[in-house]
Amino acid sequence: MSSFLIGAACFVLAATALGLLRILRGPANADRMMAAQLLGTGGVATLLLLAGASQSPTIVDVALLLALLAAFASVAFVNSASYSQDKASATMDPR
């Protein structure tokens, strides 16, 4: 069973690694952020599969921390995008 979980973790990790191409060559910041979210989600899935294969509860804690960091990164991106959009609309306002 553990060899299946390790194989599944390798597959998820390989599929997630393709997201690096989108981060490096993404046409827009939103595309890059979505790819970063994909890396976070794939990383969490990989860590949870490895935790199941190795029976190590510490890896589950690391996966939860990675999920929390990915959520904070998403919130920070949305905040930054809305702030820059508000700033751009304020400079375009002729009043």
pLDDT in tens, 55-90: 999 999 999 999 999 889 888 888 887 777 666 665
pLDDT on residue 80? 84
Rounded to whole angstroms, how far apart are CA atoms 70 and 5?
23
| CA 76 to centroid of chain Cα atoms | 13
User: Number of folded domains in the chain?
Assistant: 1
pLDDT in tens, 9-39: 999 998 888 877 777 776 787 777 888 888 8
Rounded to whole angstroms, how far apart are CA atoms 95 and 83?
20
Domain that holds residue 6: 2-92
Rounded to whole angstroms, how far apart are CA atoms 42 and 39?
5
Mean pLDDT across the stretch 34-52?
Answer: 90
